[in-house]
Amino acid sequence: MKTENQKAWFFVLPVLLLVAFNALIPMMTVVNYSVQETFGDNVFFWQGLDWFQQILRSDRFHAALGRQFMFTFLILIIEIPLGIAIALSMPRKGFWVPVCLVLMALPMLIPWNVVGAMWNIFTLPDIGLLGYFLNHTLGINYDMTQDPVAAWITIVTMDVWHWTSLVVLLSYAGLVSIPDAYYQAAKIDGASNWAVFRFIQLPKMKTVLTIAILLRFMDSFNIYTEPFVLTGGGPGNSTTLLSIDLVKIALGQFDLGPAAAMSLIYFAITLLVSWLFYTVMTKDDQN
Amino acid sequence: MAKITLSKLRHSYMPNPSSASDYALKEIDLDWTDGGAYALLGPSGCGKSTLLNIISGLLVPSEGQILFDGKDVTKLPPDQRNIAQVFQFPVIYDTMTVYDNLAFPLRNRGRDEATVKERVMAIAEMLEVTDLLDTRAAGLSPDNKQKISMGRGLVREDVNVVMFDEPLTVIDPHLKWKLRSKLKELHQRVKATMIYVTHDQTEALTFADQVVVMQLGEVVQIGTPVELFERPAHTFVGHFIGSPGMNVLPCELRAGQPYIGSHPIALEGPIKGDAAGKTEVGIRPEFVSLADSGLPATVTKVSDVGRHTVVECEAEGHRINAVVEGAGPNKGDTVHLAFRQDQTRLYVDGWIATEAAESAAQSQSAEEAR
- pLDDT band at residue B369, thresholds of 50, 70 and 90? low
pLDDT score recorded for residue B357: 64
Q: CA neighbours within 13 Å on the CB side: how many for B78?
A: 25
Contact between chains at A189 and B77 (C-beta distance less than 8 A):
no
Distance from CA of A186 to the nearest CA of B (A): 9
Q: CA neighbours within 13 Å on the CB side: how many for B67?
A: 13
Residue A245, in any domain of the structure: yes
Q: How many cross-chain Cβ pairs, A to B, lie less than 8 Å apart?
A: 51
Question: Is A176 in the B-facing interface, judged by CB distances under 8 Å?
Answer: no
The SS3 of residue B176 is helix
Highest mean predicted confidence (pLDDT) among A48-57, A202-211, B314-323: A202-211
Bridge partners of residue B319, in order along the sequence: B314
| Most B-contacting residue of A188, A194, A281 (CB-CB within 10 A), to test interface | A188
Contact between chains at B91 and A203 (C-beta distance less than 8 A):
no
Residues of B in contact with A185 (CB under 8 A): 85, 87, 91, 149, 152
Question: Is A94 in the B-facing interface, judged by CB distances under 8 Å?
Answer: no
Please give the residue that has the higher pLDDT: either B150 or B360: B150
Instruction: Convert the pLDDT of each residue in A201-213 to its tens digit.
Output: 998 888 899 999 9
Alpha carbons A247 and A262: distance in angstroms, whole number = 10
CA-based nearest residue in chain A for residue B89: A181
**In the predicted structure, residue A152 carries a pLDDT above the cut 70:** yes
Alpha carbons B41 and B30: distance in angstroms, whole number = 15
Residues of A in contact with B77 (CB under 8 A): 187
pLDDT score recorded for residue B364: 52
Alpha carbons A195 and B95: distance in angstroms, whole number = 12
Q: Are strands B210-215 and B218-223 parallel, antiparallel or unpaired?
A: antiparallel
Residues of A in contact with B109 (CB under 8 A): 190
Instruction: Convert the pLDDT of each residue in A154-185 to its tens digit.
Output: 899 999 999 999 999 999 999 998 888 888 88
Contact between chains at B91 and A199 (C-beta distance less than 8 A):
no
Alpha carbons A216 and A163: distance in angstroms, whole number = 8
pLDDT score recorded for residue A255: 79
User: For residue A42, how far is the Cα from the chain centroid?
Assistant: 35
Could you tell me the strand order of the sheet in which B71-72 lies? B25-32, B4-11, B63-68, B71-72
Residues of B in contact with A189 (CB under 8 A): 79, 104-105, 108, 152
Distance from CA of B57 to the nearest CA of A (A): 9
How confident is the prediction for chain A on average, in pLDDT?
A: 86
The SS3 of residue B322 is strand
Percent of chain B whose predicted confidence (pLDDT) is above 70: 96
Distance from CA of B143 to the nearest CA of A (A): 17
Contact between chains at A185 and B87 (C-beta distance less than 8 A):
yes
**In the predicted structure, residue A75 carries a pLDDT above the cut 90:** yes
Question: Is A193 in the B-facing interface, judged by CB distances under 8 Å?
Answer: no
Contact between chains at B84 and A192 (C-beta distance less than 8 A):
no
**In the predicted structure, residue A287 carries a pLDDT above the cut 50:** no
Report the 10 Å Cβ neighbour count for A91.
10
Closest CA relative to residue B1, chosen from B154, B224, B126: B154
**In the predicted structure, residue A81 carries a pLDDT above the cut 90:** yes
Alpha carbons A82 and B75: distance in angstroms, whole number = 35
Closest CA relative to residue A271, chosen from A224, A222, A210: A222
Lowest mean pLDDT among A126-135, A257-266, B141-150, B269-278: B269-278
Highest mean predicted confidence (pLDDT) among A80-89, B226-235, B299-308: A80-89
Alpha carbons A115 and B302: distance in angstroms, whole number = 77
pLDDT score recorded for residue B366: 52
ipTM beyond cut 0.85: no
- Contact map slice: A 9-68 vs B, CB within 8 A: none
How confident is the prediction for chain B on average, in pLDDT?
A: 82
pLDDT score recorded for residue B1: 56
Alpha carbons B350 and B360: distance in angstroms, whole number = 26
What is the pLDDT averaged over residues B342-361? 76
Any alpha helices (H) in B25-97, and if so which ranges? 48-56
- In order of their start, the domains of chain B are 4-223 (3.40.50.300), 233-369 (2.40.50.140)
Distance from CA of B33 to the nearest CA of A (A): 22
- pLDDT band at residue A15, thresholds of 50, 70 and 90? very high
Residue A41, in any domain of the structure: no
Residue A273, in any domain of the structure: yes
What is the pLDDT averaged over residues B37-58? 84
Select the residue of B77, B79, B93 nearest A200 (Cβ to Cβ).
Answer: B93
Question: Is B58 in the A-facing interface, judged by CB distances under 8 Å?
Answer: yes
The length of chain A is: 287
Select the residue of B79, B88, B89 nearest A188 (Cβ to Cβ).
Answer: B79
**CB contact set of A72 (below 8 Å; sequence gap of 6+):** A217, A220, A221
Residues of B in contact with A191 (CB under 8 A): 104, 108
Contact between chains at A190 and B77 (C-beta distance less than 8 A):
no
Highest mean predicted confidence (pLDDT) among A77-81, A141-145, B271-275, B311-315: A77-81
Select the residue of B85, B88, B89 nearest A188 (Cβ to Cβ).
Answer: B85
* Alpha-carbon distances of B56 from A176, B82, B107, B167, B298, rounded to whole Å: 23, 9, 20, 16, 52
CA-based nearest residue in chain A for residue B139: A287
Residues of A in contact with B54 (CB under 8 A): none
Contact between chains at A195 and B108 (C-beta distance less than 8 A):
yes
**In the predicted structure, residue A189 carries a pLDDT above the cut 90:** no
Highest mean predicted confidence (pLDDT) among A62-71, A129-138, B180-189, B307-316: A62-71
- pLDDT band at residue A214, thresholds of 50, 70 and 90? very high
**In the predicted structure, residue B257 carries a pLDDT above the cut 60:** yes
Question: Is A282 in the B-facing interface, judged by CB distances under 8 Å?
Answer: no
What is the domain count for chain A? 1
Contact between chains at A190 and B108 (C-beta distance less than 8 A):
yes
Any alpha helices (H) in chain A, and if so which ranges? 8-19, 25-34, 50-57, 59-89, 96-109, 112-123, 129-132, 148-176, 180-188, 193-196, 202-221, 225-230, 242-247, 256-286
The enclosing domain of A278 has a CATH number of 1.10.3720.10
Residues of A in contact with B56 (CB under 8 A): 184, 188
Please give the residue that has the higher pLDDT: either B2 or A119: A119
What's the whole-model pTM score? Answer: 0.74
Closest CA relative to residue B312, chosen from B366, B232, B247: B247
Cis peptide before B173 (omega within 30 of 0): no
Host domain of residue A187: 58-286
Residue A18, in any domain of the structure: no
What is the pLDDT averaged over residues B332-349? 85
Contact between chains at A188 and B149 (C-beta distance less than 8 A):
no
**In the predicted structure, residue B24 carries a pLDDT above the cut 90:** no
Q: What is the DSSP letter of B272?
A: P
| E strand or H helix that includes residue B367 | helix B359-369
Question: Is B109 in the A-facing interface, judged by CB distances under 8 Å?
Answer: yes
Residues of A in contact with B90 (CB under 8 A): none
**In the predicted structure, residue B367 carries a pLDDT above the cut 80:** no
Residues of B in contact with A195 (CB under 8 A): 108
**In the predicted structure, residue B188 carries a pLDDT above the cut 90:** no
Dmax (CA) for chain B in angstroms is 76
Residue A140, in any domain of the structure: yes
Contact between chains at B109 and A190 (C-beta distance less than 8 A):
yes
**In the predicted structure, residue B110 carries a pLDDT above the cut 70:** yes
Instruction: Convert the pLDDT of each residue in B76-104 to its tens digit.
Output: 888 788 888 888 888 888 888 889 888 88
Residue A239, in any domain of the structure: yes
Residue A38, in any domain of the structure: no
Percent of chain A whose predicted confidence (pLDDT) is above 90: 29
- pLDDT band at residue B360, thresholds of 50, 70 and 90? very low
Question: Is B344 in the A-facing interface, judged by CB distances under 8 Å?
Answer: no
First to last CA, chain A: 36
First to last CA, chain B: 33
Residue A10, in any domain of the structure: no
pLDDT score recorded for residue B365: 54
The SS3 of residue A231 is coil
Contact between chains at B87 and A199 (C-beta distance less than 8 A):
no
Select the residue of A188, A191, A199 nearest B56 (Cβ to Cβ).
Answer: A188
Contact (CB, 8 A) for B6 and B40: no
